A and B are shown apart, each in its own frame.
Chain A
Amino acid sequence: MNNQSNESHATLHDADRVKENLRKRRAEEARFKWLGRAAIGLALSFLVVLFISIFSKGIPGFFQYYVTLEVFLDAERIDPEGDAGVNSLYAGDAKGVINDAVFEILKPEGRKAKKSARKIVSKGAEKRLRNMILNDPSLLGKTIEVQFALDDDIDSFLRGFIDRNTPESDRRIDDTMISFVDTLNEMGIVSYRLSDYLFFGSASRNAEMAGIRGAFVGSIITLAICLSIAFPLGVATAVYLEEFAQKTRFTEFIEININNLAAVPSVVFGILGLAIFINLFGIPRSIPLVGGIVLALMTLPTIIISSRAAISAVPPSIKDAALSLGASKHQAVFHHVIPLALPGMLTGTIIGMAQALGETAPLLMIGMVAFIVDIPGGITDPATVLPVQIFMWADFSERMFIYKTSAAIVVLLAFLITMNIGAIWLRKKLERRW
């Protein structure tokens, strides 16, 4: 950069030494540049490998195999009490009606063949049929075409993860089932399409029915509680400490503690939540209310620290101008400093939220790392969150869960990226330069 000035300062007999020196320094700079490029290249290649591995497994997870069946909805069998209510449908034989539709096509002979045929369609089929009738009772008595998911073993077979050449005893599906699946395939009623279970289904032990909706809603509720506690509390703390508090030993002590809290392992907050909210206050386990509070405690230090940095980055001249025009300190801070510091505060908050979104450790202690099927409807319904769902699916032995897991990871990543884009957009929108 300043080579020219260096050269002009050099005396004549030093010219050679300077030249040598210059060459060295330029080489040093070039080496540094290349090192930097190599580092970035390496990081990028890791990122590419990561994305390829996630997406190559995750994208197939968004799809699954369905079979289209013609089902005769026998009112007497499906709805024995005739009121099309939940209890009547539960008591009815929706499963039998679907089995009959399968038998109609495959014509299995003998008890064993029938058992194999029954296994082809997902266990979730009857639930789907019951829900359709609940929504539209006029379907009863008609013959309709319905798409049912295939069982996860069949799905794995169609994906090619079960080789038909392995001996029958070593396969999850027997020869009869394979011949049935071949028949269905020849009839052209098997389709591979976007999985509706993945997005609209909740946790399930049947891999083909498992979905992320419950965990997704749980994540949103938990984050909403976390945000509504951590953001106002964090910003208020930052404003007070930065603008109003006297610099005393006591405030210094508080500052040090806030900084230390930011470094506390997240599981500790879970233990705190267990001890105080569950054991002391007697709040039930596994609910997002406690989860949100615990995550709020965890994100508070992040928000406070970044908010304080944002406030101190506002030029003091602005506040001084307001004060000199007769504004009270309260007015100067609330009308001028906070609006200007807001972009920085929001960035810090969203980083904190993104961290909270990916946490499982503090939730372990308060019972949110659990198998929860019902979709939460409020802050006191049991719920789990996306990363927990991923963690649990990764450990189930059924093969199809590998793909569901990767698909859920893709969704979590998309959620995170959306949040970050939101942060950038907010910052760009609110940012002011002077």
Chain B
Amino acid sequence: MRLERVFICAAVAAMLSTFVSARDYISIAGSSTVLPFATMVAEALGNNPNFKTPVVESGGSSVGKKGVCDGIGTEFIDIGNASSRMKAGELKFCESNGIKVTEIKVGYDGIVVASSKDGTLLSISKSDLGKALTAKVPSSDGNFIDNPYKNWSDVNPDLPNFPIRVYGPPTTSGTRASFAEMVNQKGYCKKDEEAKAALKAAGEKDKVCRAMRTDGAYIEAGEQDNLIVQKLQEDPSAFGIFGFSYLDQNSDTLQGAIISGTAPTFELIAEGEYSVSRALYFYVKHAHIGVVPGVQEYMTEWTKHWGEDGFLSDAGMIPLPMAEREYYLKAMRDLPILTADMLN
């Protein structure tokens, strides 16, 4: 009797090798920042009785951009989410696999440096923030040394006099990559005269500034932003780096630091005044449109909710300006193939 079961198992295994099935639901993967919004849209599409609810996986922006270009067939995802734009090299990978994608921008997300309402409201320039958090800074004699600043006031005497302690995401995170690029690299190393001179002297590119401190001033708190929120509520002298939606959900206990004179509010991020923000994208694979049911409808579903009154903005996504919304609505119909020229 038991032997029979073994044979059945063997038969099942043999069957698997010839298993080819059409997938009747959309498969999406990518950025964990886009995920909360993509899942909302997926759920809204699933309410339509003619479509199954799309499956949305996380994994990070790189998984989204690489995954959509891996190949054609039901075992590959249809749509890749990303919180940073596709790079020329990533597009080359697509082209080498013979895959055509269309880029759709869906909204913006602000990255905030938040602290408890019981603590000090930090008002800091982007350059100082980068100086406080980047791993290497120029010393007084122009050499690059490990970041020596212990207190915020060491960075700039106008800042409060207590230790720098910032919780933030780990290296796998797109939020961290964007923060390091916008604040450390572009805000500090490309702007600060001392830093520029020291970089030149050392023969380094400004990309090295993207490294965050590892001496305990910057603390990696895992991909769980809720954990950072809890830490901040317990420790009023600490700061945390995360997406705007977490600040929005906890606006009664947390406050966002004012960066270069601008507070991270919904309106100021939407107007582009708040400078630490990035766009959210998804990339849709042409070969799967019309093959996997609902891809076109999933795209259209975004347009129903991405405005100022839609539920996506309630959840903390910053809407695109009207002109951009119209542009990408048209792109959803015309499906322009993403080329290297468009990325510049």
Show the binding face of A for B, using Cβ within 8 Å: 86-87, 90, 123, 127, 162-163, 166, 169-172, 204-206, 228-229, 232-233, 235-236, 277-279, 281-286, 334, 338, 367, 369-374, 380, 382, 392, 394-399, 402
Contacts and interface: CB of A to CB of B under 8 A. Distances in A.
B3 A236 contact: yes
13 contacts: A86-B49, A163-B252, A233-B6, A235-B2, A281-B19, A282-B75, A283-B21, A284-B27, A367-B27, A372-B53, A374-B53, A395-B223, A397-B316
A397 B75 contact: no
Interface string B33-63: 0011001101100111110110111100000
B84 to A, nearest CB: 20
B249 A172 contact: yes
A395 B35 CA distance: 11
A284 B3 contact: no
Q: Contact size class for B?
A: 35 or more
Contacts of A284: 21, 23, 27, 74-75
Interface of B: 2-3, 5-6, 9, 12, 16-17, 19-21, 23, 25, 27, 29, 32, 35-36, 39-40, 42-43, 46-50, 52-53, 55-58, 73-75, 77, 117, 223-226, 229, 245-246, 248-252, 311, 315-316
A379 B161 CA distance: 60
Nearest to B254: A170
A86 B226 CA distance: 38
Contacts of A369: 57-58
B49 A367 contact: no
A282 B20 contact: yes
A249 to B, nearest CB: 25
A163 B250 CA distance: 12
A113 B8 CA distance: 64
A286 B25 CA distance: 11
Given A123-B311, A367-B27, A371-B42, A282 B53 contact: no
Contacts of A204: 43
B74 to A, nearest CB: 5
A395 B5 contact: no
Contacts of A166: 252
Contacts of A236: 2-3, 6
A372 B3 contact: no
A397 B36 contact: yes
Given A127-B47, A169-B251, 17 more contacts: A162-B252, A166-B252, A232-B9, A279-B75, A281-B17, A282-B20, A282-B75, A283-B21, A334-B2, A367-B27, A367-B29, A370-B55, A372-B55, A396-B226, A397-B36, A397-B245, A397-B246
Given A90-B49, A285-B27, A171 B5 contact: no
A277 B27 contact: no
B61 to A, nearest CB: 16
A345 to B, nearest CB: 11
A232 B73 contact: no
Contacts of B57: 285-286, 367, 369-371
Contacts of B77: 285
B78 to A, nearest CB: 11
Given A170-B252, A282-B19, A398-B249, A371 B6 contact: no
B58 A374 contact: no
A289 B109 CA distance: 37
Contacts of A286: 27, 55, 57
A331 B158 CA distance: 88
Given A282-B74, A374-B52, A396 B36 contact: yes
Nearest to A402: B226
Nearest to A239: B2
Contacts of B40: 205
A112 to B, nearest CB: 12
- For A162, A281, A283, A397, the residue with the greatest tally of chain B CB atoms inside 10 Å of its CB is A397
Contact of A172 (B2, B223, B251): B251
Nearest to A232: B5
A126 to B, nearest CB: 9
Nearest to A209: B43
Contacts of A90: 47-49
B21 A380 contact: yes
Contacts of B74: 282, 284
Contacts of B23: 284
A232 B58 CA distance: 35
Contacts of A367: 27, 29, 55, 57
B6 A232 contact: yes
A136 to B, nearest CB: 18
A283 B43 contact: no
B16 A283 contact: yes
A399 B23 CA distance: 35
A2 to B, nearest CB: 49
Contacts of A169: 251
- For A284, A286, A380, the residue with the greatest tally of chain B CB atoms inside 10 Å of its CB is A284
